[in-house]
Structure 1
Amino acid sequence: MTHIWHPKRSHKKLWDLELDCHPFPHLLIRNFIQSDSFTENLQRELLDLNFHEKSNDLYKFNQSDDLKKRKEPHITGLRAALFGLFRSWLGEVLGIELEPIVDVSCAKYQYTDVLLCHDDELEGRRVAFILYLVPPWESSDGGTLDLFSTDGKYWSVGVCSSSAIYGWLSLCVFVQVAEVLSEDKCRLSLSGWFHGPSLERPPRHIEPPFPRSPHLPRDETLLLEWVNPLYLDVDYQSQVQQEFEDSSEIQLKNFLKEEKFKEVSEALRLTDVQWTKQGPPNRRCYEVASLESFPQCVSACWELLCSEAFFLLLSNFTGLRLHYLSPSDEDEKDQEDEEEGEATGSSGDTPSANKNNKGPSTPVCVGELRRWAHGDYTLLHDGDASKAEYALDLLLPLSCPDWQTEFGGFTSYIANEEDEELLMVYPEENSLALVYRDKETLKFVKHINHRSSTLPIGDSCRRAVYDFSFVYYE
């Protein structure tokens, strides 16, 4: 067996063993358990376990606790075989001294459950395995194990779907469990890792930041043309600012004038906009429109969100200094000090009042027009927290009249190194969402699942949600 595990061999079969080196070495062992009665009893013991729902940016499924201390006879027997004789055989085949560490759990994937593209890169992990205990399964049921190749930056690129019990050995590999599409089948599996000497890891590629731009020199004429008059009322803006300052988020319903909103939505569905898929899959999966291909009304809406007048409107909504005319905290303190000085006869010219001699920074923004459909998502990344900044997020969804929360596709905000969600912003037509986040807050867009396919197909022959996504910096 040792001689066939060689990276120059693309594919090899030997009895119930099948080795494939594309996109990286992995091994299929058919009929791994010979006894049908053992398999049935093992499956029954596993289904009797307590399972915990797991859901975050990367996955949604149910998982048991670690099985290393379970006493059920068939779980115990399989565990002893995997981490005893099988571990010794696998170590000999690979030429690696595998450690007798037990790392195995049971997972249940049911309708719309998924595990997105990831590398599971933790110290000491050398060979992963998955043992499937599933009913007769068709490709239309989903739930495949997808293996990704990598490019020179060690980003995931291509994908090769497979299934069965695997082992793999590589510096940096990416895998995912495709979404389960069957409503009446359960993808039950045992999975874990064999541990061994750690490998030297390649350096992670750092993505360059998106270019940011100052506002466009457009006056309030754009606001009058596009924005619901309610939100241009100064008294109502004060109410919005008070609510925003209390919670750091707000949703402004029916934000655009109805006729303008309909014009933009229809233009996106009916015109030939150029869309580009965004990746890599271990970071994101959605489409972005090319600015040069925007229909005229979409370009006008884009200019609105980038305009000087809109920056000032956002300042009035949020109290943030996104325009030179908006008062800053320093201005308010100076005014308080001045009033106090007048009351006490002091000039108010104190060191604290003049501690910031630098001029105000230039507010900037970065934006995208995005298209979302079944299977799209964004993921958090290990380096996101170190690059987090104070920022104002803006979302303006389009063409999602029947969108439901169970479809996914919502933007979730979480605290760094915490799983609990602080806020979820759901797609709602013509509802402008504003969220202020600090350096400890991260965000992702939840995977859009198969339930979204129940939506009626529009004129574009594609079930899709569009949104303008902007980030503004003081």
Structure 2
Amino acid sequence: MASKRAQGDCFKSNKNKKKKKLNNCEETAELCSVVQDENVKQAVKEAWSQKSNYTHGDLELDCHPFPHCTIKNFIRSEHFLENVQSELLALNFHVKSNDLYKFQQSVGLRKRTEPHIAGVRSALFTQFRPWLEEVLNVKLEPHVDISCSKYEYTDVLLCHDDELEGRHVAFILYLVPPWQSSDGGFLDLYQTDAHVQPQSIVKSIMPSWNTLVIFEVSPVSYHQVSEVLSREKCRLSLSGWFHRPTPERPPSYVEPLVSRIEHLPRDETILLEWINPLYLDISYQEQIQEKFEECSEIQLKDFLREEKFNQVREALQLAQIQWTRRGPDNKRRYDTACMDNLPECANACWELLRSEAFFLLLSNFTGLRLHYLCPADDDDDDETKDEEAAGASNERREKSEPSIPKCCGELRRWSHGGYTLMHDTTQVEYALDLLLPFCYAEWNAEFGGYTCYIAKEEDEELLTINPEDNSLALVYRDKETLKFVKHINHKSTCDSTSSRFYDFSFVYYE
């Protein structure tokens, strides 16, 4: 009797395990009828190969600015998709933020066993992939690349082309609540110029529940997710890529180097006129240099004389200044001033930062050789320098002729939507960065607009500089250091007094 009871208990236990396994098994997702229609598939294949548009029911192929296809009601069962949404929202999400994006991403979905997540993954990579292979006339790899992204208020993914080894077709399946244009979060598509650089947004696709968007990854597939402007709604989506060996791409366009200029012949009179007397004191300059050599950066508050700073700040708002949008969007987006029609005081400030006297002052602040009066490094001093500084010194000695200190600079206007990406750092070399901001209220770091320095191949920030009125920032960077200006988000528009700021941005070379 005891033996029989043990067998019965064992059977009950195995039965429960089997039931649990069945509950965790993959749920089957059925794709919409338009994908299963053989005639539609052949029509899409022909249109895609000829780069012509095609529409049938819930499917639309549009080849401008590059071929992309939207399929509404992609999954037949609304109930199934609601369960997918519930399982996704139960996952752990991690904030991802750098120069290019800010959003939340789930843990990896490639091996998730939740029944509806597994079902939609199978629908895409088992059922839909053969359809894609026939439409595009390619053989796609079985590799699964899928994740879940959650965009909330002020989240954004800036302009990029998705090109990365093996990526061939990108897909996005939207799981959003009823969406309006005022909510933002569009998939913006760019047309490109003669240099295959993004020129302008020519189409915006609004997220819509159970809509799949696909496009081929190519040198012209520039797109972005515009900033989400809704404080209540969540832009949830499944996205990833279908893979195949990457075909050979044409060389990327290389922008012309920014022209470097020598100093203007201005004596110390210009320093006495413009700069806070504290910073002209030799003993204080020695303290600044000591701190700078230790940290490779410094911020000098109240740098300009107050009356001069206020004059320039007011002048920067005058209508006579002509501002030009600087791009392209895969590298930067801000306004730069035309130097030909600056107000007199703004032009005088520009000349200050280019003057011979200011080059010498920077030498005194930093110990860099930005003027011929700056003493050369002694051998004893070289022994005490760190490896990076020694490398820079050796590099200078290898030149056949002594270099002439030069600079390049801009007067920039920053407002909602402005940013630079790390691609903007085209001249990767030793240099001294200077920033002199002009704000009209205290700038909140939550708005973005701060300048961030990071080491190559690293995500951790080395230094962040927030725009601060009349605070001169000096940063010495080496070949392994990159910088970007963080995207200025919608929060900056909530207070009209602080919706924009200006800065003089200069780079000095020994």
Normalised by the length of structure 1, the TM-score is 0.91
SS at match of 2:74: coil
Residue 11 of structure 1: how far off its partner (Å): 3.4
Superposition misfits of 4+ residues, deviation over 4 angstroms: 7-10, 331-334, 355-359
The more displaced of 370-379 and 5-14 is 5-14
Query: Structure 1 residue 243: deviation in Å?
Result: 1.0
> Structure 1, residues 342-370: CA drift from partner, whole Å, max 9, x if none?
xxxxxxxxxx9xx8896632100000000
One-letter code aligned to 1:165: L
- 1:183 counterpart residue number: 231
Between structure 1 and structure 2, the one with the greater Rg is 2
Contact 1:7–1:25, Cα closer than 8 Å, also in 2: no
Bigger mean CA offset, 151-160 vs 410-419:
151-160
Spell out, residue by residue over 1:150-198, the C-alpha distance to the aligned partner (whole angstroms, 9 max, x if none): 1221111121211342111253111111010001110000000011242
Distance 2:92 2:398 in 1: 58
Distance 1:10 1:257, change over 3 A: farther
Any conservation in 2 of the 1:59–1:115 contact (CA below 8 Å)?
A: yes
CA distance in 2, matches of 1:453, 1:407: 9
Whole-angstrom distance in 2 between the partners of 1:299 and 1:331 = 41
Contact 1:402 1:455 in 2 (8 A): no
Does 2:275 align with 1:224? no
Counterpart AA for 1:101: H
Q: Which has the higher helix share?
A: 2
Distance change (3 Å), C-alpha of 1:98 and 1:286: same
Kindly, what percent of the aligned residue pairs are identical?
63
Q: Which runs of 5+ in 2 are unaligned?
A: 1-40, 385-393
Calculate the aligned-residue CA RMSD, in Å. Answer: 2.0
- Contact between 2:167 and 2:243, CA under 8 Å: does it hold in 1? yes
SS of the equivalent of 1:43 reads helix
Does residue 56 in structure 1 map to residue 98 in structure 2? yes
Is the aligned partner of 1:324 residue 2:372?
yes
Report 1:271-286 matches (<5 A).
271-286=319-334
| Separation of aligned partners in 2, 1:357 and 1:71 | 61
Paired residue for 1:260, among 301, 308, 313? 308
Q: C-alpha offsets along residues 283-321 of structure 1, whole Å, 9 cap, x if unaligned? A: 110011011011111110000000000001001111111
Q: Aligned pair 1:288/2:324, yes or no? A: no
Residue 349 of structure 1 aligns with which residue? none
- Does the 8 Å CA contact 1:286/1:372 hold for their aligned counterparts? yes
- Kindly report which structure 2 residues correspond to 1:200-239, keeping only aligned pairs within 5 A, or say none: 200-239=248-287
Instruction: Please say if residues 50 and 64 of structure 1, whose CA atoms lie closer than 8 Å, have aligned partners that are also in contact.
Output: yes
Q: 1:92 to 1:7 in 2, by over 3 A?
A: closer
For residue 390 of structure 2, what is the aligned residue in structure 1?
none
Tell me, in whole angstroms, the C-alpha distance in 2 between the residues paired with 1:431 and 1:251: 6
**1:406–1:140 Cα change, 3 Å:** same
| 1:406 and 2:446 aligned | yes
Normalised TM-score (structure 2): 0.85
Task: Give the Å deviation of 1:13.
Answer: 1.5
1:293–1:7: structure 2 CA closer, same or farther, 3 Å change rule?
farther
- Structure 1 residue 10: deviation in Å? 4.9
Q: How does 1:14-25 map to 2 (within 5 A)?
A: 14-25=56-67
- Cα deviation code 1:322-359 (max 9, x no counterpart): 1111112148769x9xxxxxxxxxxxxxxx9xx88966
Q: Which amino acid aligns with 1:33?
A: I
Range with greater deviation from structure 2 (321-330 or 444-453): 321-330
2:170 counterpart residue number = 128
User: 1:263–1:10: structure 2 CA closer, same or farther, 3 Å change rule?
Assistant: farther
Task: Provide the residue aligned with 1:301 in structure 2.
Answer: 349
Q: Which runs of 5+ in 1 are unaligned?
A: 337-351
SS where residue 215 of structure 2 aligns?
A: coil
Write out aligned runs for 1:12-411 (5 A): 12-159=54-201, 160-163=203-206, 164-169=211-216, 171-172=218-219, 173-330=221-378, 360-381=402-423, 384=425, 387-411=427-451
Counterpart code for 1:414: I
Q: CA 1:332–1:326 in structure 2 vs 1: closer, same or farther (change >3 Å)?
A: farther
The structural deviation recorded for 1:275 is 0.7
1:450 aligns with 2:493: no
| Preserved CA contact (<8 Å) 2:170 2:215 | yes
Pair 1:440–1:197, CA change in 2 (3 A): closer
Q: Partner letter of residue 204 of structure 2?
A: S
Question: How far, CA to CA, are the matches of 2:398 and 2:318 in structure 1?
Answer: 52
- How far apart are residue 261 of structure 1 and its match? 0.5
Deviations, residues 381-426 of structure 1 (Å, cap 9, x unaligned): 2x957x4111000000002422101100000000011111100011
Cα distance between partner residues in 2 of 1:286 and 1:69: 42
Structure 1 pair 32–359 and aligned structure 2 pair: CA distance change class (3 A): closer
CA change 1:239–1:264 in 2 (3 A) is: same
